[in-house]
Amino acid sequence: MGISKLVLKLLGWKQVGDFPDVDRAIIVVAPHTSLFDFAVGRLYLWSMKKKVYYFIKGLYFWFPLGLFLKAMGGIPVPVKSSSRNLITFSVREFKKRKQFFLIVTPEGTRSATTKWKHGFYYIAQKGNIPVYLGYLDYSKKHIGLGPELEITGNIQADMEKLKRFYIGKNGKHPERFITGYENDEKAQS
């Protein structure tokens, strides 16, 4: 057993689901309510022996923090990038590498919000990149990957499917995680 897997086990976490057998994908991860999510997620990904990347504002890449961020898979993004430029930048990053897994937290914040970001959707669409649903559930101490999210072109319906997948999965701070469908009858079925 690898060290990362052992540490996860000692912390009480159970790995659920298999990592997709693909060379590139966007991994949407929620709930994201604590900085501790990064540590647990990193242990999980190391235990799966997967190199993953994430985008972070370029202003955080000062010495020595920048060295750490890059070592952890951070890719600096210009602070004043428009959405369109970021999508083009992202697709270009996918094309640069034979293997590329991009981690995205759609809430865009660790605070409570129902307005999730859609950038990953447009990146997937433009680059023809599969999207998988990753999660941390602190109530069960489960971390893993769920199904692939089919990108149909109907963003509203696809985002609803995505949000419904996360109902019942609790962040470290459950009060900070809202899908907007918690009280919906369809969500319970």
- How far apart are alpha carbons 141 and 114 in whole angstroms? 24
Q: How does pLDDT run across 41-51, given as a tens digit for each residue?
A: 999 999 999 89
Whether the full predicted model's pTM is greater than 0.85, yes or no, is: yes
- Which pairing describes strands 131-137 and 142-149: parallel, antiparallel, or unpaired? antiparallel
Give domain limits for the chain.
Answer: 3-50+78-174
Q: Is 184 left (phi over 0), alpha (psi -120 to 50) or beta?
A: beta
Structure confidence at residue 112 (pLDDT): 79
In the chain, what percentage of residues exceed pLDDT 70? Answer: 96
148 forms beta bridges with 132
Instruction: Say whether 179 sits in a helix, a strand or coil.
Output: coil
At 1 the pLDDT is 62
